[in-house]
């Protein structure tokens, strides 16, 4: 059967889609682009913001319009938190954020009897559990389908931080972790298959192992993964909470030669009063301590972050404090988001909701500062040499990433999946150009 998949949202969703793709191929199905005619369409949804919900609904409607006879199966975070809303969109299957292989079983069954089901007016099959009651990590095959360069490995699921703006704990449930032994086994397989980089991802990987209460922490997992892989296979970490970055974490991490010196430190605001309203578990002093430690133990690491502007009650003075803190941290790159009101979260009911025009204006100002800091970081690499893992060729130039996650372009011949030393000649926008 021909099956297409559309994925919205984060790297965890991307990982879970890749696992479903691998399983569907193993079952003998053909994967086709989402725009193509298909026997079944899978939409892996996101619910991190109200905008994400809207996009999920739009894609579901588009799938039904473009493939009126296809089986439409919807899974992911939006399906988990709003199954009745999804059910009303003329779909055949509604699943959530668990039981992906069972979801594929149901999809195949629906493919077998779709005509009979349509004629009888059978209601959509809904299999959504109570995410807050989950206690078991769902092991899915790691990897990817694009060229054997970079593979994602989900090592953690769930979150118990309950930030005031976030619905994800209700969509994903409590913390569940992949064991170190299983992670090492997956990495040995990925290394043998020719992958050159493994990205450890999860909903909140800083909480890895917390539910076991045996004293193990993320750095224990990272050490095991790095040592399970060949020395020339990189390991990259997903988003971290500042509490993860301690003196011990940095000392042990810096001793791992294949760990990429790129750290995405979740920030959201650079103002303590806003962080309190967000129910974040740190203040700016603790956050900056993490930045300082990373720069002490690693040579010019890439330190990236997320920033939400226009959070309820954010004053101009609070925003100015955030800009000053961003300048102090001197991030190598940033993702900036205007606050999106998410029904069902405490922040949606807070007074002082900021008007959209003000949020957009603050995002513009923060973006200008972020670009200046990124350009300064990139300019610092001109004239130096970086090891670059090349991924693809486009318009006569090979594209790849350095360990600090800087994008590098260079000319060459057949550089796919090869790591080469590249002398950086200049910066063009937010990328570096060099020669092998």
Shared domain check, 181 and 262: yes
* CA-to-CA separations, 343 to 131, 327, 350, in angstroms, rounded: 18, 32, 11
**Contact in structure between 270 and 324 (CB atoms under 8 Å):** yes
Shared domain check, 359 and 339: yes
CATH of residue 22: 3.40.50.12160
Residue that is last in its domain, among 94, 114, 129? 129
What residues contact residue 408 under an 8 Å CB cut-off, 6+ apart?
386, 388, 399, 400, 401, 402, 422, 424, 431, 432, 433, 434
Instruction: Look at residue 119 in the predicted model and tell me its pLDDT.
Output: 45
Shared domain check, 274 and 165: yes
**Contact in structure between 281 and 241 (CB atoms under 8 Å):** yes
User: 292-335, pLDDT tens digit by residue?
Assistant: 999 999 999 999 999 999 999 999 999 999 999 999 999 999 99
What SS3 state is found at 241? coil
Shared domain check, 9 and 75: yes
What is d(CA 305, CA 321) in angstroms, rounded to the nearest whole number?
Answer: 16
Q: Is 120 exposed, middle or buried (0-12, 13-18, 19+ CB in 10 A)?
A: exposed
What is d(CA 108, CA 93) in angstroms, rounded to the nearest whole number?
Answer: 11
Residue that is last in its domain, among 110, 129, 148? 129
**366 token code pair:** 């923060």
User: 275-304, pLDDT tens digit by residue?
Assistant: 999 999 999 999 999 999 999 999 999 999
> Which has the closest alpha carbon to 167: 21, 42, 371, 348?
348
Q: Which domain covers residue 114, as residue numbers? A: 2-129
Name residue, tokens 């009651």: 133
Instruction: Look at residue 146 in the predicted model and tell me its pLDDT.
Output: 58
Q: Quick one: angle between helices 11-26 and 100-112, nearest 10?
A: 50
Shared domain check, 44 and 156: no
Name residue, tokens 């691998």: 22
What secondary structure letter does DSSP report for 124? P
**Contact in structure between 161 and 115 (CB atoms under 8 Å):** no
**20 token code pair:** 């479903």
Shared domain check, 291 and 147: yes
Instruction: Look at residue 362 in the predicted model and tell me its pLDDT.
Output: 98
Shared domain check, 181 and 112: no
What is d(CA 40, CA 72) in angstroms, rounded to the nearest whole number?
Answer: 6
Shared domain check, 18 and 73: yes
What is d(CA 160, CA 216) in angstroms, rounded to the nearest whole number?
Answer: 18
Residue that is last in its domain, among 76, 102, 129? 129
* H or E element that contains 374: helix 356-379
Shared domain check, 266 and 166: yes
Domain count, the chain: 3
| pTM of the complete model | 0.91
Instruction: Look at residue 144 in the predicted model and tell me its pLDDT.
Output: 66
Segments in the chain below pLDDT 70: 114-122, 144-147
CATH of residue 309: 3.80.30.20
User: 26-49, pLDDT tens digit by residue?
Assistant: 999 999 999 899 999 999 999 998
Shared domain check, 411 and 330: no
Shared domain check, 389 and 371: no
**48 token code pair:** 């991190």
Shared domain check, 389 and 375: no
């Amino acid at each position: 059967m021909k099956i297409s998949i559309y994925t919205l949202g984060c790297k965890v969703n991307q990982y879970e889609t890749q696992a479903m793709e691998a399983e569907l191929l193993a079952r003998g199905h053909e994967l086709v682009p989402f725009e193509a005619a298909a026997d079944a369409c899978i939409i892996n949804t996101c619910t991190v913001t109200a905008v994400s919900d809207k996009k999920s609904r739009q894609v579901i409607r588009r799938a039904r319009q473009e493939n009126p006879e296809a089986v439409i199966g919807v899974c992911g975070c939006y399906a988990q938190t709003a199954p009745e809303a999804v059910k009303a969109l003329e779909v055949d299957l509604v699943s959530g954020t668990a039981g992906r292989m069972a979801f594929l079983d149901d999809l195949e069954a629906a493919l077998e009897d779709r005509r009979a089901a349509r004629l009888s007016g059978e209601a959509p099959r809904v299999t959504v559990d109570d995410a807050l009651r989950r206690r078991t990590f769902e092991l899915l095959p790691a990897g990817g389908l694009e060229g054997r360069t970079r593979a994602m490995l989900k090592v953690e699921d769930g979150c118990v931080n309950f930030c005031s703006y976030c619905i994800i704990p209700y969509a994903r449930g409590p913390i569940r972790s992949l064991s170190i032994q299983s992670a090492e086994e997956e990495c040995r397989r990925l290394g043998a298959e020719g992958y050159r980089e493994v990205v450890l991802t999860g909903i909140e990987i800083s909480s890895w192992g917390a539910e076991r209460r045996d004293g193990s922490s993320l750095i224990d997992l990272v050490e095991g993964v790095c040592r399970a892989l060949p020395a020339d296979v990189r390991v990259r970490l997903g988003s971290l909470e500042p509490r993860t970055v301690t003196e011990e974490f940095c000392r042990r991490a810096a001793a791992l030669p294949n760990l990429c010196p790129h750290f995405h430190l979740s920030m959201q605001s650079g103002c303590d009063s806003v962080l309190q309203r967000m129910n974040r578990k740190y203040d700016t002093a603790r956050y900056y301590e993490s930045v300082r430690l990373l720069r002490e133990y690693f040579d010019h690491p890439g330190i990236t972050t997320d920033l939400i502007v226009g959070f309820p009650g954010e004053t101009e003075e609070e925003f100015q404090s955030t800009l000053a803190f961003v300048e102090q941290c001197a991030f190598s790159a940033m993702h900036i988001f205007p606050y999106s009101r998410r029904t069902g979260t405490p922040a949606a009911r807070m007074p002082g909701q900021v008007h959209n025009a003000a949020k957009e204006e603050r995002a513009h100002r923060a973006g200008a500062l972020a670009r200046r800091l990124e350009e300064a970081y990139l300019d610092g690499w001109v004239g130096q040499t970086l090891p670059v893992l090349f991924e693809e060729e486009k318009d006569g130039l090979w594209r790849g990433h350095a360990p600090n996650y800087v994008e590098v372009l260079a000319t060459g011949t057949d550089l796919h999946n090869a790591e080469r030393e590249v002398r950086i000649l200049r910066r063009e926008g937010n990328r570096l150009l060099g020669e092998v």
